[in-house]
A and B are shown apart, each in its own frame.
Chain A
Amino acid sequence: MSHSSLTQAFGLLLKRDLVLALRRRAEMVNPLLFFVLITSLFPLGFGADTSLLRAAGPGLIWVAALLAALLSLEGMFRSDFEDGTLEQILLSAHPVSVLVLAKVLAHWLVTGLPLILVAPLLGVLLALPTQAIEVLLLTLLLGTPVLSLIGAVGVGLTVGLRRGGVILSLLVLPLYVPVLIFASDAVATAAAGIPITAQLYILGAMLVLALSLAPLATAASLKISLS
């Protein structure tokens, strides 16, 4: 199969998923709303003590981002599985892993990117210093794609189950923990004014690892789910 037709299939699938998300906006807004609600309720609950808030802020934002990502995962392959288009994707003349990557990318653009866009506001709400907010954005930019990529493997395995939600979180959450630890640590360290290159390198390495391995694992897990 020629190279250009693979690029075309990748682009069309990406565009298709974005168009579909646009035509069903309600589903797209859910995780974002969850993220904003959780993080904006904490300052109200903690009262006027900003020092406490500042100490807990990085962890809070990242836990909320992680749960929002988990909440959005199930929709990644569900509708494709139900209407049979997933079969067509698996029976494509192109490598399934590349097509899966297009779907994950679309999913991240729809659910991950909005989180990054609203995160600065929430950082201010949690009384994070400016340099910590910058680092927060950087960690979200490196970390949320990892959440989508790892999540895709879990969704691939559970998409055929009627009540896959619980198993999905059990499968995926342990794999999310390293991202949570290093990302929230990076934000907290930056707030204290200490360099954070080590954490960023590790997050970057996780992203590269997930980017190269997760699509292959997802393709395999989808094949198992459908057979």
Chain B
Amino acid sequence: MNGQGIQLRASGLACIRDDRVLFSELDFTLGPGEVLLLEGRNGSGKTSLLRILCSIRLPDEGTVLWCDEDIQELGPDYHARLSYIGHRDGIKHDLTAQENLRMARALGTPDGRWSIDRALEAFGLYGFEDVPTRNLSAGQQRRVALSRLLITRAPLWILDEPFTSLDRHGIQAFEGVMERHTREGGMIVLTTHHRVRLADAPVHAINLSHES
């Protein structure tokens, strides 16, 4: 992965929901190999901020820049550099893990780093690749969703509560995956209530509850 020279910058972001200002005047810059952890109470706008950073939602004020260009104008070029795991898994329960990942790879950048089988194996899903995901447990479904991160070459990961319903081994495995991603120059923006331990990756934290 070429982690050189990429940068995500937010300036003056504000989000208003139902006439309530969730946050305003939010600035940050994220460089290669860095992690941004969003903290805050429930309803403090963490998910809204992630959706703004994905360009799904428009900020009420301010801009988000990817390598000094507005993400709204970059459109698909920005999406090609981005992997988003929302709080909904984004997998089809009537399809198998393999079918889901094949679709995800086709939607993203074509030359994935890892093969689908290897990505599933990394998340302990070996042997479950041809089972409809409906028959998997919630934690396993989450693992299928997280496997998406490994099969494309997106340098920016945006993760909404990625540890939800993972067991202790799953959390450890995923922390390892995140560490490798930052070592290779990738960046991560995430929300979580779990205490994230990442070796030698600078973790910046923003607490949205104080901002408002």
A residues engaging B (CB < 8 A)?
1-2, 5, 8-9, 12-13, 16, 19-20, 23-24, 79, 82-85, 87-96, 99, 223, 226-227
Q: Which of B55, B80, B90, B107 is the one whose CB lies under 8 Å from A83?
A: B90
Task: Assess the A83–B91 pair: CB atoms within 8 A.
Answer: yes
B76 CB contacts on chain A under 8 angstroms: 1, 92-96
Chain B's closest residue to A16 (CB) is B103
What would be 16 A-B contacts, judged by CB atoms less than 8 Å apart?
A1-B80, A9-B106, A12-B102, A13-B107, A16-B95, A19-B99, A83-B88, A84-B88, A85-B91, A91-B55, A91-B82, A92-B108, A93-B76, A93-B107, A93-B108, A226-B57
Q: When the two chains form their complex, are residues A9 and B95 in contact, meaning their CB atoms are under 8 A apart?
A: no
B79 at the interface (CB under 8 A from A): yes
Q: Which residues of B contact A20 (CB under 8 A)?
A: 92, 94-95
Task: Give A227 to B56 CA distance when docked, in angstroms.
Answer: 6
Given contacts A16-B103, A91-B54, A93-B80, contact A83 B109 (CB under 8 A): no
Closest to B87 in A: A84
With A16-B103, A94-B76, A227-B57: A88-B92 Cβ-Cβ less than 8 Å: no
Q: Judge whether A85 and B106 touch: CB under 8 Å.
A: no
Q: What is the number of residues of chain B that contact chain A, defined by CB distance less than 8 Å?
A: 31
Give chain B residues whose Cβ lies under 8 Å from the Cβ of A79. Answer: 92
A2 CB to nearest B CB, Å: 7
Q: In the complex, which residue of chain A has the Cβ closest to the Cβ of B154?
A: A93
Is B94 a contact of A88 with CB atoms below 8 Å? no
CA distance A194 to B94 in the complex (A): 50
In the complex, B176 has a CB within 8 A of chain A: no
Please determine whether B107 and A227 come into contact, CB atoms closer than 8 angstroms.
Answer: no
Question: Cβ of A95: which chain B residues have Cβ within 8 Å of it?
Answer: 76
Task: Tell whether, in the assembled complex, residue A12 and residue B106 are in contact, meaning their CB atoms are under 8 Å apart.
Answer: yes
Partner of A87, one of B84, B95, B106, B109: B84
Assess whether B136 is interfacial by the CB under 8 Å rule.
no
Min CB–CB distance B60 → chain A (angstroms): 11
B206 interface residue per 8 A CB criterion: no
Task: Write out the residue numbers on chain B whose beta carbons fall within 8 Å of the beta carbon of A13.
Answer: 103, 106-107
Q: Which of A9, A19, A227 is B58 in contact with, Cβ under 8 Å?
A: A227
Identity of the chain B residue whose Cβ is nearest the Cβ of A12 in the assembled complex: B106
- Asked if B13 lies at the interface with its beta carbon under 8 angstroms from chain A, I say no
Residues of B within 8 A of A83 (CB): 88-93
3 interchain residue pairs of minimum CB distance: A84-B88, A93-B80, A84-B90
Residues of B within 8 A of A23 (CB): 94
CA of A8 to CA of B86, assembled, Å = 25
Interface digits, B47-78 against A, CB 8 Å rule (1 contact, 0 not)? 00001001111100000000000000000110
CB <8 Å contact, A12 and B89: no
Given contacts A87-B56, A91-B79, 19 further A-B contacts (CB under 8 A): A12-B103, A13-B103, A19-B95, A20-B92, A23-B94, A83-B88, A83-B92, A84-B88, A87-B86, A87-B90, A89-B107, A92-B79, A93-B77, A93-B109, A94-B76, A96-B76, A99-B107, A226-B56, A227-B57
Q: Does B159 contact A (CB under 8 A)?
A: no
B168 smallest CB distance to A (angstroms): 25
